[in-house]
Amino acid sequence: MPPRLDEMIDEFQDADRQERIELLLDLAKTLPPLPDRLACLKDATHRVQECQSPVFLFVEREAGVVHLFADAPVEAPTVRGFVAMLLQGLDGATAEEIRAVPGDLVERTGLTEILGMLRVHGLSGVLRRLKSEVARVASEATA
């Protein structure tokens, strides 16, 4: 797993319930806006259907590393925070590193203790979709 994401997971694991919420809210503030070239492409193709909040993911590969872009609503700060964590922890990693991220990442961060089951399901869906998109982009690059 990329070291940046590993450090973030450790930080969440070391935090109590209230601190986890604060970490998510702080991360939510760091999610950068989509570049203009991607903002106009927010459609069903890029939307994470498993998430109740409208989350849009974009994956690009350049020189063997993956670049991630996403949009999540300000009105859904926990989702936005999780998406920001993924972007900060995984942007610039290889496709193989991203595909190796454990599927139980939400549980490992301890977020299941502070979020409802629907929200947890949505966050897990964001990770699955991200990994799926990374695999697709990587396979297109080798074709």
State pTM to two decimals.
0.94
Per-residue pLDDT, 140: 84
Q: Does residue 141 register a pLDDT over 80? A: no
Mean pLDDT of the chain: 94
* SS3 of residue 47 by DSSP: strand
pLDDT in tens, 59-99: 999 988 999 999 999 999 999 999 999 999 999 999 999 99
| Residue 105 confidence class, pLDDT cut points 50, 70, 90 | very high
CA separation for the pair 139, 19 (Å, rounded) = 39
Residue 28 belongs to domain spanning:
3-142
pLDDT in tens, 88-104: 999 999 999 999 999 99
- Count of alpha carbons within 13 Å of 98, Cβ hemisphere only? 31
Q: How many domains would you assign to the chain?
A: 1
| CATH assignment of the domain containing 79 | 3.90.1010.10
Average pLDDT over residues 14-24: 95
Question: What residues form DSSP beta bridges with 69?
Answer: 58
Could you tell me the two tokens for 137? 């982009």
